[in-house]
Amino acid sequence: MFNVVCCDKQPFFDVLPVYKARFFDGDFKQLMHAKIAYVSDDGFYFDVVKFERDPVIIKSGEFSPEDSTIAVSFDLSENSSGPVLSVLLNSEGKSKIFLDEEESGPVVSDIFLYRGSDELGWHWGTRFLISNGMCSEVFGKHKFSPGEVVRGNIYAVLTTGERAHFGAVAPFAVSSVYCVENLADFLLSNA
């Protein structure tokens, strides 16, 4: 089980638990890590970083399923009976939102993108919010409390090229960000 830290205000991400991609389909094991927090007045904050060997080149100004992607998939409904909300983002901050496998209208707010390089190579990351308003619209619930369990998974995906990969922080049944069987338990807990 993974923890989602509950906070009174936007968290200091440096002190949150880190979840690394540890489960992979294929030989290439992409380094990726994620942090999650829940703020009762805002919603679920995600901070996800993906490390690449070389800078990622985006071919168009829009999101493409062929881009190097970070994906966050969660079912935040009562008893995990709702749709799977999947947020897919590329290194340019372009995103697509899906409910189950259908592209959807809700949008992610407060997308913050960052990039850099160090001794491990080039990395990019994104910090974004799945707002209480979106949770209410999609799942019919907009407030969560410590002790509740939601289901989800976080993925590093690249579908083409010599470094194609599918990795996740939790075990998965199928190499798909939309698969409900891939979701693990995330416990909301006090800091």
pLDDT tens, residue by residue, 23-56: 999 778 888 999 999 999 999 999 999 998 776 6
CATH number of 2-190: 2.60.40.1190
Kindly tell me if the per-residue pLDDT of 74 is higher than 70: yes
Tokens of 83: 């749709």
Measure the CA–CA gap between 150 and 68, rounded to whole angstroms.
Answer: 26
Kindly tell me if the per-residue pLDDT of 106 is higher than 70: no
- Percent of the chain clearing pLDDT 70 (strictly above): 93
- Reported as a pLDDT band with limits 50, 70 and 90, residue 60 is low
3-state helix, strand, coil in the chain (%, to 5): 10, 50, 45
Which pLDDT belongs to residue 69?
Answer: 87
- Reported as a pLDDT band with limits 50, 70 and 90, residue 61 is low
Measure the CA–CA gap between 44 and 152, rounded to whole angstroms.
Answer: 12
**pLDDT winner (highest mean) among 3-7, 28-32, 80-84, 114-118:** 3-7
- The predicted model scores a pTM of 0.91
Q: What's the rounded mean pLDDT across residues 60-72?
A: 78
